[in-house]
């Protein structure tokens, strides 16, 4: 940026208690909020010596008021591609959220590669209904349009009626898996409606193979699925021209190296290992977490993603799971321990285990298994009410199960794999 600042976007659904962690960890100088939430967030900003300013969706607030009184010319600060552009917080399964530091070159290199690979031009009109506090909507979608000079139909969120109305004017749409079942549920989705479209993209969570098949049968268009992370933006993609294989995330992007590792060596085709990537898209490290950076970002530039995958003989990559217990629901990363800490402090709960289960709409749904205190009872109505006040809505469990005890191995570790197997059909059968 002209003044040498960098950007930290936050989910507007976060509660003040959740925002406080990011403010305390990132130590920003300015905190920008919607005027409607200013009073509830002001104590958080004040507690950490941060200047709170406001900006509403219609352009009103203290920030534009201040800008109007400033000189119309200033001397920009020299910037380079290696300078930090943004910090995006990503969730893990241990510890608190980590701030991934992304440089100007990280973002620009990825946008250039994707614009070329996906054939974006100034003639494209991108239908954008993604959140802009996440790398998918904030950088991938927006930067490609800005780079190529195309147009965007910019929506504040996915509203079925609005998206149906906009499709005839668009040529491309980037979405998360929740978008496509909702579109398929509307009889107006047909070949005529999408006759002007050339590309539908899905990412941020796995897309069910049956959704691929149903969408192609209805529209004649095959969804392009890709793979990325906050720390890398996009790393792989199914081909624009060529076979887009349902259930896979395609090939490494041009300029991006990908290997699948186990026990310090690359695995053979078809075998499972952890994805590692290296390239100009890979982030600079975690904000104020040098130890965590050393654990996950090797000195030679290889980033250990923690995602488990296979690669077939033709090179298609398939994500088969996560080495960590991160839940991705509707494209949002959810850190199970954060939800568990809230649940464990509620009346009647001895301990909890939060897992992600297959969900036909969200990819994964948050599911909580609650072990009751000896001789105690758990009031699920009270549990749900408490969760609403302490966690953003996308983190709320979509289902609960009360048990006498959580399953453990001989080392005393809770067996989440067993819980996922036991409850795998919970959301599919509802």
Nearest 5 degrees, angle CA 153-CA 118-CA 138?
45
Pairing mode of beta strands 273-278, 303-311: antiparallel
Q: Residue 195: which pLDDT band, with cuts at 50, 70 and 90? A: very high
Q: Please compute the mean of the pLDDT values over residues 55-59 and round it to a whole number.
A: 91
Q: Residue 321: which pLDDT band, with cuts at 50, 70 and 90? A: low
Of residues 391, 412, 387, 413, the one with CA closest to residue 400:
387
In 327-338, which positions are buried (b, 16+ CB within 10 angstroms) versus exposed (e)?
bbbbbbbbbbbb
62-103: pLDDT as tens digits? 999 999 999 988 888 888 999 999 999 985 444 578 999 999
251-309: pLDDT as tens digits? 999 999 999 999 899 999 999 889 999 999 999 999 999 999 999 999 999 999 988 88
Both tokens of 47, joined, read 């507690």
Count CB atoms within 10 A of the CB of residue 119: 13
Cα–Cα distance for residue pair 288/278, rounded to 1 Å: 22
Contacts of 387 (CB under 8 A, 6+ apart): 339, 342, 343, 396, 397
State residue 31's pLDDT score: 95
State residue 410's pLDDT score: 42
Share of the chain above pLDDT 70, in %: 95
Min mean pLDDT across 32-36, 76-80, 233-237 is at: 76-80
State residue 91's pLDDT score: 57
Tell me 72's DSSP state: S
β-bridge mates for residue 173, sequence order: 127, 200
State residue 196's pLDDT score: 94
DSSP string computed for 228-285? EETTTEEEEE--SSS---TT--BEEPTT-EEEEEETTEEPPTT--EEEEEESTTS---
**pLDDT at residue 333 greater than cutoff 80:** no
pTM of the model: 0.78
Backbone torsions φ then ψ of 149, nearest 5 degrees = 80, 15
Q: Residue 411: which pLDDT band, with cuts at 50, 70 and 90? A: very low
C-alpha pair distances (Å), 300 with each of 266, 267, 282, 306, 427:
16, 20, 12, 17, 42
State residue 392's pLDDT score: 94
State residue 134's pLDDT score: 85
Q: Please compute the mean of the pLDDT values over residues 7-29 and round it to a whole number.
A: 92
SS3 of residue 394 by DSSP: helix
Q: Residue 226: which pLDDT band, with cuts at 50, 70 and 90? A: very high
107-164: pLDDT as tens digits? 999 999 999 999 999 999 999 999 888 888 999 999 999 999 999 999 988 999 999 9
Both tokens of 190, joined, read 């047909």
**pLDDT at residue 37 greater than cutoff 70:** yes
Average pLDDT over all residues of the chain? 91
């Amino acid at each position: 940026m002209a003044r040498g600042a960098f950007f930290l976007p936050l989910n507007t659904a976060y509660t003040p208690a959740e925002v406080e962690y990011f403010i305390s960890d990132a130590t920003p100088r300015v905190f920008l909020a919607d005027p409607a939430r200013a009073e509830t967030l002001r104590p958080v900003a004040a507690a950490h010596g941060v200047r709170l300013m406001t900006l509403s969706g219609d352009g009103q607030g203290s920030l534009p008021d201040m800008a109007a009184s400033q000189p119309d010319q200033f001397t920009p600060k020299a910037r380079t591609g290696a300078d930090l552009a943004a910090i995006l917080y990503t969730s893990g399964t241990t510890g608190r959220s980590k701030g991934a530091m992304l440089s100007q070159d990280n973002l620009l290199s990825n946008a250039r590669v994707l614009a070329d690979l996906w054939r974006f031009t100034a003639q494209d009109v991108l239908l954008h209904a993604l959140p802009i506090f996440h790398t998918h909507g904030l950088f991938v979608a927006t930067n490609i349009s800005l780079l190529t000079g195309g147009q965007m139909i910019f929506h504040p969120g996915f509203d079925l009626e609005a998206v149906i109305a906009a499709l005839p004017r668009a040529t491309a749409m980037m979405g998360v898996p929740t978008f496509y079942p909702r579109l398929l549920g509307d009889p107006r989705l047909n070949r005529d409606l999408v006759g002007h479209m050339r590309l539908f993209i899905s990412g941020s969570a796995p897309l069910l193979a049956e959704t691929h098949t149903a969408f192609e049968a209805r529209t004649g268009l095959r969804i392009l699925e890709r793979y990325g992370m906050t720390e890398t933006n996009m790393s792989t993609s199914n081909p624009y021209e060529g076979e887009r294989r349902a259930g896979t995330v395609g090939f490494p992007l041009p300029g991006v190296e990908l290997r699948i590792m186990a026990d310090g060596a690359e695995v053979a085709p078809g075998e499972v290992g952890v994805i590692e990537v290296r390239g100009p898209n890979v982030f600079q490290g975690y904000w104020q977490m040098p130890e965590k950076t050393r654990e996950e970002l090797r000195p030679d530039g290889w980033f250990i993603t923690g995602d488990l995958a296979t690669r077939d003989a033709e090179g298609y990559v398939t994500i088969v799971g996560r080495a960590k217990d991160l839940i991705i629901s509707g494209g949002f990363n959810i850190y199970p321990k954060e939800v568990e800490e809230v649940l464990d402090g509620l009346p009647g709960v001895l301990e909890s285990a939060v897992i992600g289960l297959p969900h036909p709409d969200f990819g994964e749904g948050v599911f909580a298994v609650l072990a009751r205190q000896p001789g105690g009872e758990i009031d699920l109505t009270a549990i749900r009410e408490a969760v609403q006040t302490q966690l953003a809505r996308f983190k709320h469990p979509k289902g609960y199960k009360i048990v006498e005890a959580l399953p453990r191995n001989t080392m005393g570790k809770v067996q989440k794999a067993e819980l996922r197997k036991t409850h795998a059909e919970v959301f599919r059968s509802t």
